[in-house]
Amino acid sequence: MKKVLVVYFTQSGQLKSIVERLTSPLRSDDQVHVDFLEIKMKNEFDFPWEKEAFFDTFPESFQQIPSEIEAPAASILTQKYDLIILGYQVWYLTPSIPINSFLKSLYAKDILKDTPVITVSGSRNMWIMAQEKIKVLIRQNEAHLVGNIALVDRAINLISVITLVDWMFTGVKKRLGGILPLPGVSESEISDSDRFGTIILKYLKSPSFHGMQEELIQNKAVEVRHFLVSMDKKANKMFTLWSKWILSRNSKSRKRWLKVFNYYLFFAIWFISPIVHLIHLILYPLFYAKIKREQQYYKGIQ
């Protein structure tokens, strides 16, 4: 009997739908037992978000400052698993506070040590640098990354900003104006994610997971858009400055600077990012070889 643990956090329910659908082939196999561990915070994050609360999470999110989580069940802490599937969202270009808090908790190493891990992200579109941070946390817990699946909102960048923000602050997933696409990972992609589970099941039953990521890539588990990689890297540099500055302020000053950050973020998304995109298109032929190398790296698990 192969034992699999699915660790995840969800607010809207989207990531729960993803990991349930993805693992359906494993749960249908009588030689595999699947447990689910939903990360619960001592102080929960409400959904839909209040705007002030959403921006208030920025400094701690980006600086990966953990918060206290509820203890996993003793049956999970005492179990040795053959595979762990780690489902996470991206908050401010970084693994969400709940997932970061779990990976930095006293429980994580007991659960993850010497165990193969597959990461599954559900995000708007920029997940590359968050995944790099996840890799570090997995190594710190002495686990082994063997696969990665990145599901994203495939709408045009600026359109997905509009639709996702509306979903976050209203809690209602809808087509704005009856025209714009639904926010988040599409229902068809969630439904089709069981094909990844079929691939995972094959390797779970084999002697090793060697070659699994390549097969996942062939089945479109990961798409790397280099413009978004470039934006992700640049934004990480700016977020480093902003988050350190805001964390250094007192509570009253913090609120004021978070409002300033809100205006900066609006300007960066709507004015800076289109310019960066245009420059990227112009310079693309000059950096073609480097771009292809980076795309190959970010699709992998090294």
The pLDDT, as a whole number, for residue 276 is: 84
Question: Is 56's pLDDT higher than 90?
Answer: yes
The pLDDT, as a whole number, for residue 206 is: 96
Question: Is 222's pLDDT higher than 90?
Answer: yes
In tens, the pLDDT along 9-31 reads 999 999 999 999 999 999 999 99
Please give the Cα distance from 87 to 92 (Å, whole number): 17
Q: Is the peptide bond preceding residue 25 cis, with omega within 30 degrees of 0?
A: no
pLDDT (mean) for 250-273 = 95
The backbone region for 50, taken as left when phi is positive above 0, alpha when psi lies in -120 to 50, beta otherwise, is beta
What is the DSSP code string of 54-81?
Answer: HHHTHHHHHTT----BPPPPHHHHT---
The pLDDT, as a whole number, for residue 279 is: 87
pLDDT (mean) for 260-274 = 94
The pLDDT, as a whole number, for residue 6 is: 98
Percent of the chain surpassing pLDDT 90: 91
Confidence band, pLDDT 50/70/90 cuts, at residue 57: very high
pLDDT (mean) for 216-240 = 95
Q: In what order do the strands lie in the sheet with 116-123?
A: 32-38, 2-8, 83-88, 116-123, 144-152
Q: Is 1 helix (H, G, I), strand (E, B) or coil?
A: coil
Across the chain, mean pLDDT equals 96
The pLDDT, as a whole number, for residue 48 is: 97
Percent of the chain surpassing pLDDT 70: 100
Q: How open is the CA angle 271-235-281, to the nearest 5 degrees?
A: 60
Please give the Cα distance from 43 to 46 (Å, whole number): 9
The pLDDT, as a whole number, for residue 255 is: 96
Tokens describing residue 283: 């310079």
pLDDT (mean) for 93-102 = 98
Tokens describing residue 93: 């270009």
Q: Hey, how many other C-beta atoms are within 10 angstroms of the C-beta on 60?
A: 20
The pLDDT, as a whole number, for residue 277 is: 85
The pLDDT, as a whole number, for residue 207 is: 94
pLDDT (mean) for 86-91 = 98
Question: Is 284's pLDDT higher than 90?
Answer: no
What does R_g of the chain's alpha carbons equal in angstroms? 19
